[in-house]
Every structure is written in C-alpha cells, then in structure tokens.
Chain A
C-alpha cells in the first residue's frame, strides 16, 4: 500500500504545487521539496520498521485492473527496488534544490512534471505486473519529455523529440514481447497472465525465447544506454534543465539497468547466457567509445553525458558475466554512478548559473575564486574516474573482477576505460577549475554546499563501507 500512497502522494502534491503556484508564485518549490522529504522519509521509516526482510520479492498490493486480460495492479518490493527507490528520493531532493533558482517560469507546472516523473519511476521500480510496468514506463517518459521540451536549453525541442522517439520505439518492442509472453502463458497455463511471478515458472520454448529476450533487451539497452543506441543521451542531457539531467543520469538510466537485471537476466537465463558474448562486446564498445567521445567534447554536460555511457558499459559488462562479484558490482555502480553523475550535472548547472555557458573553452581558473566548489568538483571527478575510497571504485572493481572470470580478454580491454576516464576527468576538471582565470566567479551558496556535501558524504561512506548496501544486494538468482 505504501508504494501506491507514495505515487498518489507525489502526483497529488505535484498538482497541489501547480495549483498553489497560480495563487502565489514561489510556493511550488517549497511544496515539492516538503512533499518529497515527507514521502521519502516515511518510505524509509516504513522499510526500517517493516518486519519483512525483502530478500525475495514481497507482494504489497494486488488489485484487479482489467479482468478480461487478467491484468492486475501489482506492486512488490525487494532489496533491489528498495535501494533504487532510496536513490530516487535522494536525487529528487537534489533535483528540486538545484532547480530552486534556475527555474523561473511556469514553476508550478515544472514541479508537477518533476514529481510525476518520480511517481512513474517509482512505479517502474515496483510494478510486477508487466502491463502495469509498461504503463509506468510510459508515465515516466511523458513528463520527462515535457521537462526537456519546456525548460531546456537552446536546442530543447529537438532533444526532447529525439529522447521521446528513441524511448518510444524501443519500448514498443518490449510491448510486443510482453504481449507474446502473455500469450505463451495462455498456451501453457490456460489463461493470459502479465504477472512477473507467473512468468518465472514458464518453460519458454528455446527457439523464440531468444527473440523475446531481445525485445526486452533492446528497450532496456536504449534506456541504459548502450552503444549503438546511445545517441539520444548526449542531446537529452545537454539540453535538459539541470534537474532533468540529474534525474536522467541518476535514475532514468538506472531503470534500464533495473530492467536488464529484473527481466532480461532472470526471465531468460538461457537466452541471455547465449547472448552474453554479444552483450559483453557491446558493453566494451560502450566503455571505450563513451570514454573516447567524452574526451572529444567541449561542452561540460555533453562530456559528462558520454562518461555516463562509458560507466553504464561497465554495468552491462558485469551483468552479462553472471557471477556474484559482478552482480555486486552492478548494484554499487548503479548507486555510485547515480550519485556521482548527478553531482557532476549539478556542477554543470551551478557553473551555467554563474557564467551562462557550458563551453569548457570559456571556463578556466574557477578554483581561485571558489576553492570549495573546486574541491568538491575534484572529488566528484575523482569519483567518476574510479578513485579508490569513493563508491564508484568499489563498483568498477567488483564489476571488472567479476567480468574477468568470464570474459578475460574483454575485461582487459574494458580496463583501458579506466585510463580513458582519467583522461576525460582531467580534461573536465582542469579546463574548468585550473588554468588562467577567465571569468569572475562566486563560490557555492549554502544551498549548493548542502547538495555537494551530502552527495559527497554518500559517495565516501559507500566507498569506505560498501557493506552498508552490499549486504542487502541482489544476487541475480545465483
């Protein structure tokens, strides 16, 4: 029940914020922030006090939705979804705080869209009826597109449409696969079913389980994103408002990884085993290509966007290695990359707010005027290039050590991505914060300091004590 309340609460408070904004301007952000904090902390409290262990999926709600097709409103939780939900709430708070001064027009509608996206994402992470999952998959897409199209930068319409079409086309493949699965269930068990748990018991015919798996895989690979379907990401990231980039990098990409874990790997173990070499090669290309492209960029946000592609490559490589270490790596990388890339995007936003440019060539020497910001920027860049002691390192280390057992050669090549990440990380940090002073600049405000400090503390604590989340993590059915 709690999850449904969360979603209703988010949409409702989004609507309320929209309404109140028409009464008196400047209220929406307070309402949105308050609602997110209250809902997030009540969720945390609920989980902390819940008697369930959530080691397996625990069904929380089941209400019949469309009885003809045997479609139910089914919500379930396990460690993986709890972890991702907590990440979602943290990043939502960050997203709202970073929008505080950036968004000046149509604030009410902005926060409505923001909270609706979050509601959709929560649905994606918890739905266990595949029809419902698909529904939420679309729900999170629309307001996100609106966020990019209305509050984005100069080329926002193009980016929004590109984002929308990529996701939409790929999710149609998933829809076909979902419907086929339901029919297979009907053939075998006598009635249609969209329930995830029912599908787990199916014995899939070998000849087309591969294609079904591909249907899901492509949808999630686009979202992840993986080479060669990554190209919506740099545009969407670059053009989205800062909060949009934070949500995109921090959470929306994770829905792709979540889908791969929950559905592709678990529902189609044989088919994905068969597909693993191809996926690993794609992941390798993503890692190296992303790193290389990141190096070539001169736009701060575009660079970070390509670095995300590179990092998500590690996730995919580890996922298809099918061993315990690699799965741990996936979980940590998801959380760590969510935090660190969100942090880098907030920094892009902060810099944009100061010098009204994202162009690295126009930056330089910020450190002089803003040592605090420089220090944090270095910390987050260090996290991105896998500095031990910060969470990303644990993720990369686990992923690579796990992947090495299965794909030694690919992993060795993928490890070159570590060099690549150092190269673009240095480029990013040095061209903005070091070098001759080019612009007048001011240091972080208290609000910005709060964002940076909290994200950094999360990264550091997870880097030094990764067991805090590893002990709960998902083992991929191993």
Chain B
C-alpha cells in the first residue's frame, strides 16, 4: 500500500507549487518540495526493509488498468502497477535519498532565482517520473517514466531559457535521447509481437521458456533496447548531449545528469537481464560500448576547462563502467557501482556547485586555483568525492569498481581485452581527477572577487551526508541475488593470473603518482610556469580535438544535421504542392492563350465567325 503512494508525494508537491506559485514564499515552497522528498526517502527506506519480510522478496501494487492490448483472442492488460524487488528497491532508495539531499541543497542554492518555485516543481516532477520508471511493472509504464524524465531533463537544462545556448543544449539533449527512445519503442513493439506481453516479469519468464540461447528475436530486441539505454545513459554513439546538458543549474546536473536519470539505461538493461542473458552477442556489444565510452570520455575529460564538463565526461565514463559490468554479466556489481556513483558524483557536482557559487559563477578551472585555501570545507568534500571517483582503497568507488573489474577477465561476454580497457580507464580517471584538482584547488589564486561562502546549515548537512555515504557506501552492498538468478552461465573457465587484483588496486595510485609529476606545473605556485603549461596545452591540436569530445559533434553535424536541415530548407515550399499547383499553371496558360482571342473587338468575332463558317461548309462539301 505504501508503495503506491511513493510517486504521489512529489506529484502533489509539484501540483501545489505549480498552481500556487505566486502565493508561496521561498520558505513554503522549500518545505513543500523538500518535505515531499523527505517523505519519499523515508518511505523508500521503510519499503526497503519491508522487502525482507515480503514473500518472494517482491511487493506489488496495482493502481488501475491503463489499457489493454489484444493478442489474438486474449487481452493483455497494461496496468499502472508498481513492482518492487531488490533491484527497484535499491533504485528507489538511491533516487529518493540522493534526490532528497539534492533537493535540500537546491532549495538553498537556487534561493535567489526568480523562478525558484518553477525549479523546485520541475525537480519534484522529475522524481515522480524517475520513480515511475524504476517501479514500473511493465515496459509501457517504464516508457512513460522514461519519457517523463526526458521531458523534465529538457525543462531543467533549459531552465534559464533566455540564453540561446541553454535552449539549444536542451533541444539537443531531448532529441538525441529521443532517438534512443524510438529505438526502445520499436524494441517494445517487437517484443510484444514476439511474446505477446509487455510485463517485465512475464517477458523474462516467457523469453527463457520459449527462446534458446542466441535467439534471433532476442538479439534484435535486446539490440533495440540497448539503443534506448545508450541514448539515456549517454553512451557511444549517442553520448554527445551530456556535456552540453551542463547548461542547466548545478543541482540539476547532480540529480539528473549524474545520479539518477543517466543511469536509467543501466537500470533498463539490468531490469531486462532475463532477455539479455539470451543474447550473449548483445551482452558483448554492451560491454564494448561501455569500454569504448569509458575510454573516450576519460580522454575528453583530460583536457576540459569547465569543471562541470569534466564531471560530465567523468559521469559518461563511470556509466561506461556500469555498462561494461552489465555486459560482462556482473549485474550486481553494475548496480552497486550505479549506487555508489550516485553518491559520490552527486557529492562532486554539489561541491562543484558550491565552489562555482562561491566564485561568482566561475566554471573555468583555469580561472580558479588555490581554492583549497579559501574554501577548505568545500574542498575537503571535493577531495572525498575525487578519491571515491578514483576508487582508492576503502572508499565506496573502490568496492564497486573492483567488483566490476574483478569479473571481467573470466567473463564469457567480456574477456581480457576489456579488462585492460577497464584498467586503462581507471588510470585515466585518476589522471583527470588529479589534473582537475591541481588546477582548480592548488596553485595560486587566479580570481579577483572575494569568495561568497554558502554557510547554510541545510546545505552543509546535505553535503556532509553525501560525503559520508560516499565513504561508507562501499559497505552497503545490496543483495541482488534474488533478481539476477541466472548469471553464472556466462563464466569461462579461465585461470586468472595472480597479479590481476593487485594491478587493479594499484592502477589509481599509479595514476596519482604519474599526475603528481606530469602535471607538476599546474600545481605550481609560480604563475609563469603555470601559464606556460596552460599555453602549451591550448596550442596542442590533439588537445583541442579531445576538447571537442573527440569530434563527434562535428561528425553528426556533418552527417545528419546539415543534410537534414538542407533538405528541409530546400523543400520548404513543398515540392508536391508545386507539382499539384503546376496544374493551375497549365490551366492558366491556356486561359492566357484563349484570352488573347477574346479581344472584345466585334469585327474580329465576325471574321472568326466567317472563317469558321467557311471551314465548316468547306469541310462538309468535301
């Protein structure tokens, strides 16, 4: 029963804020929206506990019958029903707890914005959609949540809609994810056509009963669903929208573009694990997509100048890890990484937001410098976030990332090559983290304004809680064995070399040591040395290539957008209409010819009459 209320707390808060926007003060709006989230968080935790006592480890809640599809003679109901098992329980806890903390932060952070009410309302609406996505018991309802979070993401990226750049970023995010959504929708049609059901549990059961390993239908359906996941989770080849999405306010980047929405793709694949298991080939694609994305994003993150863009690329790269884990069959590890990543990436974004705020909306790391001394509280939290991101031993990131990497070597759908990719990715992660830290937090101050500290208690509380979660999150291992039952079939009997784990653990530390020397100029207190380094980096063509996200934007612009716009502009007048209207031109032509004969001169008519008569009589006589 409690389950069915869950999305309605934020929904009610959303409606109240939207309807009474003008009447509500800042205080009332905050209490309403944050309070709804608090209720959500408590409910989620209660539900998480209740799950242990529940029979079969599943709680369901049926709200109403949405519509029913006919499958031959029988009807298949598509319901507004929620389905809570260990997987969705982890997700709702992440969504509502992290969501609550970010709401708390946002209520303070966005206080001065003139559209504060609208902002909090969108955030609440986003949580509604996200909860529906996670709790949906069928894929159509999941699609509702899926599109809902997309719409909220669009609204929040374009929250400051008067800036042209934000508008374009919002449009890009929406349309690119929409491409993935469409692929997912087609997958859904195919799935229904093949199995006659859209219910997640039924689909998995039917699929494993009816299809053999490597079934062709399963292959295509999984591939199409993967398309959806790739769009939402900003993986190759639909990854280009995420860095631009940083145009939104920072809490949005933390909530949507780091902790929750972008991991929806990971959730989708994990949710449909019963189907993906049947198609090892697609699992392999998933792993490769994850691996390539994590490397590409890591390389791009190495050269970014905007602190939020570094974090955005880092998010892509971490989601790449999750995908890699899922592809390798390390389902629980993937979800575990999703959870810990939500904690530490939210922490990183929020502290970055606090730093940006303190420096008067300065996002360029090269214009920061020496923040450690001026903002020790924020900086120490940022360090916590970074060491989790780098997966130093003992932090939450360590446990989850090692869990993924540890399973790669012997997985049937992954293998050694992917293991090396993951290690290289871990190395890159620690290098770009160090670079970011050195440039922004060490060295000499390069900003002129005095810093403005955010000294609100609620804000600090939310940051500290997130930091604690990031540190100890590694011990909150969710037990997902009930969800991912048949994961063992994808293990190769390979002998793992003994150095495997030591290498994985040592890599981040190697990365730190490497960057300590390689980026020594960046942490130098001498402005000259620093400037030389910066200049050198700016002039390097490879750096500039990496800076633009490895040129994918240009490529897509050239291959898709330009031709599309060109053809559209070319055909603005509608060539079909022109063809049809050419009939009128033809008629008009004859009219003009005949008008010429109707010259109004009586003598002409008489002459024409006579000629006609002569012709007629002549013709008759002959």
Alpha-carbon distance between A378 and B151 when the two chains are bound, in angstroms: 10
In contact, B171 and A230 (Cβ under 8 angstroms): no
Known: A400-B185, A423-B175. A388 touches B118 (CB 8 A): no
In contact, B162 and A465 (Cβ under 8 angstroms): no
Which listed segment binds B: A210-218, A249-257, A408-416? Answer: A408-416
Interface size on B, residues (CB 8 A): 51
Question: Is B290 interfacial (CB-CB < 8 Å)?
Answer: no
Known: A227-B576, A422-B174. A470 touches B67 (CB 8 A): yes
Alpha-carbon distance between A465 and B21 when the two chains are bound, in angstroms: 28
In contact, B189 and A368 (Cβ under 8 angstroms): no
Question: Is B148 interfacial (CB-CB < 8 Å)?
Answer: yes
A434's closest neighbor in chain B, by CB? B161
Question: Which of B66, B155, B171, B179 contacts A466 (CB under 8 A)?
Answer: B66
Question: Is B190 interfacial (CB-CB < 8 Å)?
Answer: yes
Question: Is B186 interfacial (CB-CB < 8 Å)?
Answer: yes
B18, B179, B568 — which one has the most chain A CB atoms within 10 A of its CB?
Answer: B568
Question: Is A353 interfacial (CB-CB < 8 Å)?
Answer: no
User: Which residues from chain A contact B170 at a C-beta distance below 8 Å?
Assistant: 430, 434
In contact, B178 and A430 (Cβ under 8 angstroms): no
Within 313-364 of A, Cβ neighbours of B (below 8 Å) are at: 323-325, 328
Question: Is B65 interfacial (CB-CB < 8 Å)?
Answer: yes
Question: Which of B65, B182, B581 contacts A415 (CB under 8 A)?
Answer: B182
Q: Looking at the assembled complex, report how far the CB atom of B346 sits from the nearest CB atom of chain A, in whole angstroms.
A: 27
Question: Is A389 interfacial (CB-CB < 8 Å)?
Answer: yes
Alpha-carbon distance between A405 and B67 when the two chains are bound, in angstroms: 19
Which listed segment binds A: B139-147, B206-214, B539-547? Answer: B139-147
Convert A384-416 into 0s and 1s, putting 1 for each residue whose CB lies closer than 8 angstroms to a CB of B: 000111000110011011001100100110011
Alpha-carbon distance between A320 and B308 when the two chains are bound, in angstroms: 51
Within 358-378 of B, Cβ neighbours of A (below 8 Å) are at: none
Alpha-carbon distance between A368 and B114 when the two chains are bound, in angstroms: 11
Known: A405-B193, A435-B167. A292 touches B571 (CB 8 A): yes
User: Which residues from chain B contact A430 at a C-beta distance below 8 Å?
Assistant: 158, 161, 167, 170-171
In contact, B576 and A415 (Cβ under 8 angstroms): no
Question: Is B593 interfacial (CB-CB < 8 Å)?
Answer: no
Known: A231-B577, A296-B572, A416-B182. A464 touches B189 (CB 8 A): no
Within 274-301 of B, Cβ neighbours of A (below 8 Å) are at: none
Alpha-carbon distance between A393 and B188 when the two chains are bound, in angstroms: 14
Question: Is A436 interfacial (CB-CB < 8 Å)?
Answer: yes
Question: Is B617 interfacial (CB-CB < 8 Å)?
Answer: no
Within 574-596 of B, Cβ neighbours of A (below 8 Å) are at: 574, 576-577, 579-581
A228, A408, A427, A434 — which one has the most chain B CB atoms within 10 A of its CB?
Answer: A434
In contact, A388 and B147 (Cβ under 8 angstroms): yes
User: Which residues from chain A contact B193 at a C-beta distance below 8 Å?
Assistant: 401, 404-405, 408
Question: Which of A368, A389, A400, A405 contacts B148 (CB under 8 A)?
Answer: A389
User: Which residues from chain B contact A436 at a C-beta distance below 8 Å?
Assistant: 162, 164
User: Which residues from chain B contact A404 at a C-beta distance below 8 Å?
Assistant: 189-190, 192-193
Question: Is B69 interfacial (CB-CB < 8 Å)?
Answer: yes
In contact, B161 and A367 (Cβ under 8 angstroms): yes
Question: Is B70 interfacial (CB-CB < 8 Å)?
Answer: yes
Question: Is A281 interfacial (CB-CB < 8 Å)?
Answer: no
Convert A436-478 into 0s and 1s, putting 1 for each residue whose CB lies closer than 8 angstroms to a CB of B: 1100000000000000000000000000111100100000000
B69's closest neighbor in chain A, by CB? A325
User: Which residues from chain A contact B164 at a C-beta distance below 8 Å?
Assistant: 435-436
Question: Is B567 interfacial (CB-CB < 8 Å)?
Answer: yes
User: Which residues from chain B contact A465 at a C-beta distance below 8 Å?
Assistant: 64, 66
Enumerate 23 A-B pairs (CB-CB under 8 Å) in ascending A order: A228-B576, A234-B577, A295-B568, A325-B69, A328-B67, A378-B155, A387-B148, A388-B140, A393-B147, A397-B140, A401-B69, A404-B190, A411-B186, A412-B186, A419-B178, A422-B174, A430-B158, A434-B161, A434-B162, A437-B162, A465-B64, A467-B66, A470-B67
Known: A397-B140, A426-B171, A430-B171. 9 other contacts (CB 8 A): A371-B21, A387-B148, A389-B148, A418-B181, A418-B185, A422-B174, A434-B158, A435-B164, A464-B66
Footprint of B on A, CB under 8 Å?
Answer: 227-231, 234, 289, 292-293, 295-297, 323-325, 328, 365, 367-368, 371, 375, 378, 382, 387-389, 393-394, 397-398, 400-401, 404-405, 408, 411-412, 415-416, 418-419, 422-423, 426-427, 430, 433-437, 464-467, 470
